[in-house]
């Protein structure tokens, strides 16, 4: 990734940090954050290839940035052809922006007998689309790569350090299995080196 290609992500991180430090409620953060994320995914020249690499057997969750105070995190989700998640929750608010390819997301709700059932039709995301999730609205879903023959990449923003949040996957009977996802990478993209952008200063 060249120095100039770090600009969109760095600008997004600065703008989102300004947003999150204001005394906004969740609704306003999701509304304004959706606009910021739509701007970021409106161009596809900034994500380093190392954070867009698929795995042959399962999806990848690459950490791009974690706020030092755990107020938000930004990750790239990379889906190999035909890959899907288990039914799972997040327990924090989130924004999902489609960068490449496509995703389908099926929401679930818990019925009175404790089982989980699909809620409404599946949502399909194409490049440029942004979806919101929140624990007090719809937080349980299953996500799949829309395509069986290509890689898809989405950029997610969560209201916490999502790789360290204790959450759950769900069986059809509604029973939960807790997990902490962690991340697929051990190194982060360096968006802070400005030396090559201003070589004569």
**Cα 180 from Cα 11, distance rounded (Å):** 29
Q: What is the pLDDT of residues 86-127, one digit of tens each?
A: 999 999 999 999 999 999 999 999 888 888 999 999 999 999
| pLDDT grade for 199, boundaries at 50, 70 and 90 | low
- Rounded to two decimals, the pTM is 0.94
Residue range 4-23: mean pLDDT, rounded = 93
pLDDT score, position 200: 54
Q: Domain 3-179 carries which CATH code? A: 2.60.120.10
Domain ranges in the chain are 3-179
Of 85, 53, 66, the residue nearest 151 (C-alpha): 53
Q: Tokens for 140, please give them.
A: 């349980």
Q: What tens digit of pLDDT does each residue of 148-175 get?
A: 999 999 999 999 999 999 999 999 888 9
Q: Is 1 a residue whose pLDDT tops 50? A: no
């Amino acid at each position: 990734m060249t120095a100039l290609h770090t600009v969109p992500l760095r600008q997004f991180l600065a703008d989102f940090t300004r947003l999150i430090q204001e005394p906004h409620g969740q609704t306003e953060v999701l509304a304004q954050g959706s606009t910021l994320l739509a701007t970021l995914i409106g161009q596809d020249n900034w994500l380093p290839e190392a954070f867009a690499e698929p795995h042959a057997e399962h999806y990848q969750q690459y950490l791009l940035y974690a706020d030092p105070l755990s107020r938000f995190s930004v990750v790239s989700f990379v889906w190999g052809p035909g890959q899907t998640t288990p039914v799972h929750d997040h327990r924090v608010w989130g924004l999902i922006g489609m960068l490449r390819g496509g995703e389908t997301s099926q929401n679930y709700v818990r019925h009175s007998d404790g089982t989980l059932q699909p809620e409404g039709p599946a949502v399909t995301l194409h490049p440029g689309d942004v979806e919101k999730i929140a624990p007090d609205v719809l937080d349980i879903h299953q996500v799949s790569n829309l395509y069986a023959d290509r890689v898809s990449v989405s950029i997610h923003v969560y209201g916490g350090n999502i790789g360290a949040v204790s959450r759950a996957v769900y069986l059809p009977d509604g029973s939960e299995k807790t997990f902490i996802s962690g991340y697929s990478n051990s190194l982060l993209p360096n968006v802070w080196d400005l030396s090559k952008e201003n070589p004569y200063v």
